[in-house]
Amino acid sequence: MIKKQVLVEQILKLMTDKINLSEQEFGMVQKNFEIMKVSKKTIILHPDTPIEGLYLILDGLLRFFANNEKKTTIRFKSNGEIVGDLVGFLKSKPSEFGIETVENSYIVLLSFEKINWIENNLKEGKKLIRIFYEITLSTILTQDFDLINSDPLKRFDELKDRIPDIEQRVSQKMIATYLNITPAYFSLLKSKAIK
């Protein structure tokens, strides 16, 4: 179990990597962010439900899945990353996707109110939110280009670049569905790559 103070320090570090925070602002952030512990295999956002906000992952692994029978994984998100139906969030419409924890995770909900709080109460809050959207845009586009690349092994390599220990944390079956291939074909490709 991770101590709350360690997780709070992670939030502060993610912020101070981008902006300056005064001591008073440190205290305000600590009071205003609620850390949630979520067990693995918990769906924290169901498709077609209202979106409360986005989720900052302090520790753990989540998957973002499509609203289909197989609940196909579209993206994996790990420590320090933000996951959510961003377009639904921006347009205030129900989510077209779902989010599930893959392992026990510690997350923070970033609601509209929380984002407004950051913008209005921290001296460099607007700058932080602008940088957040810069990073998000870049991440979305990089992952979009990843999907254009039809070679599953190259896409797997790019996933491992982002989350190096993904194979230890997620089943081969789940990785195969993310790559849009069967688990048997995924095993075959990996064994050919080793040779």
Residue 30 or 72: the one with the smaller Cβ distance to other proteins is 72
Specify the residue, 113 or 134, whose C-beta has the smaller distance to other proteins: 134
Residue 149 CB, shortest distance to other proteins, in Å, is 7
- Least distance (Å) from other proteins to the CB of residue 115? 10
* Contact residues for other proteins, defined by CB under 8 A: 66, 86-87, 90-91, 96, 126-127, 129-130, 133-138, 140-142, 144-145, 147-149
**What's the closest the beta carbon of residue 22 comes to other proteins, in angstroms?**
18
Taking the C-alpha atoms of residue 154 and residue 62, their distance in angstroms, rounded to an integer, is 22
- Residue placing its CB nearer to other proteins in the complex, 66 or 109: 66
- Nearer to other proteins by Cβ, of 6 and 137: the residue is 137
Residue 98 burial (C-beta neighbours within 10 Å; 0-12, 13-18, 19+): buried
Taking the least distance from each CB to other proteins, the nearer of 18 and 169 is 18
40 vs 126, beta carbon nearer other proteins: 126
d(CA 193, CA 195): 5
The CA distance from 125 to 108, in Å, is 17
Q: Write down the least CB distance from residue 75 to other proteins, Å.
A: 10
Could you write out the three-class secondary structure of 157-176?
Answer: HHHHHHCCCHHHHCCHHHHH
Provide the CA 161 distance to its chain's centre, in angstroms: 15
CA–CA gap between residue 156 and residue 162 (Å, rounded): 10
Residue 120 neighbours by CB distance under 10 Å: 9
Taking the complex as a whole, the smallest distance from the CB of residue 135 to other proteins amounts, in Å, to 8
Minimum separation from the CB atom of position 80 to other proteins (A): 15
Which residue from 160, 193, 191 is spatially nearest to 175, judged by alpha carbons?
A: 160
The β-bridge partners of 56 are: 82, 108
Using the structure block, give the residue that is written with the tokens 């075959």: 188
